[in-house]
Amino acid sequence: MSTSCPARLTIWRKSLLFHGNGYAVFNNLDGRLVFRVDNYACDWREETFLMDSSGNVLFTIRRRRKKLGISGSWEAFRGDKEERFGGRENQKPLIKVTKVLGNPSCKITVAAGDEYHMEWSPNQGWSKIYRSTTGLISPVAEQVTRKCNAASESFLGKDVLTLTVQPGVDQALIMAMVMINDAMR
């Protein structure tokens, strides 16, 4: 889903499931649920699912472990990988992300040939996603760690974030990148 004007989303780091780890994502304009993120395993950093408001899996995100590697690697597949591909491991991911240990940025490769760059500040609590096309770098999303209440100008809590996605950018794709960003930390 993409829009003609910047989309402002609120990310609440709270699962809609009773004992789940995940979060709910709401549209700032009308307050409706746009995405939910949940996992059904013990460790949410190993595998998690980005779903639409109806519970349909949009992306399956998995961490790839390498022996003796100093970099982290994540892959995202469209839909529920187990259902669509019968669990076969030879299917190619839509998104590949590699992060070198200790570096506050990473490179994102999308199967369509697009390349993105994600950087974040652990101290200031923000992250930005840029698209790298033909040498030009253009911002596509910005995540500010804590959302502020407009009326009282006070922070809503550590688990409430705001995300701005630029027009014409697939919000589900950006949310998958944000999920990987959270898993890296």
Total domains, the chain: 1
Which pLDDT value is given to residue 33?
93
Q: What separation in angstroms does the CA of 45 have from each of 39, 81, 93, 97?
A: 9, 17, 17, 14
Render the burial of 96-130: b for 16+ CB within 10 Å, e for the rest.
Answer: bbebeeeeeebebebeeeeebebebeeeeeebbbb
Q: How many CB atoms lie within 10 A of CB 27?
A: 17
| Lowest-confidence pick of 23-27, 60-64, 121-125 | 121-125
Q: What is the mean pLDDT of the chain?
A: 77
Mean pLDDT of 14-37: 81
Give the CATH number of the domain where residue 99 resides. 2.40.160.200
Residue 179 lies in a domain: yes
Residue 1 lies in a domain: no
Residue 150 lies in a domain: yes
Which pLDDT value is given to residue 58?
94
Over 90: is that where the pLDDT of 34 sits?
yes
% residues pLDDT > 70 (the chain)? 68
Residue 12 lies in a domain: yes
Beta-strand relationship, 160-165 and 105-110: unpaired
**Amino acid identity of 156?**
L
Q: 167 or 46: whose pLDDT is higher? A: 167
Confidence band of 69 (pLDDT split at 50, 70, 90): low
Which pLDDT value is given to residue 119?
81
Which pLDDT value is given to residue 131?
84
Q: Are 137 and 128 in contact (CB under 8 A)?
A: no
Residue 106 belongs to domain spanning: 7-184
List pLDDT tens digits, range 86-118.
Answer: 554 567 888 888 876 777 778 888 887 788 888
Q: How many CB atoms lie within 10 A of CB 22?
A: 22
Q: Are 61 and 39 in contact (CB under 8 A)?
A: no
Beta-strand relationship, 23-27 and 115-121: unpaired
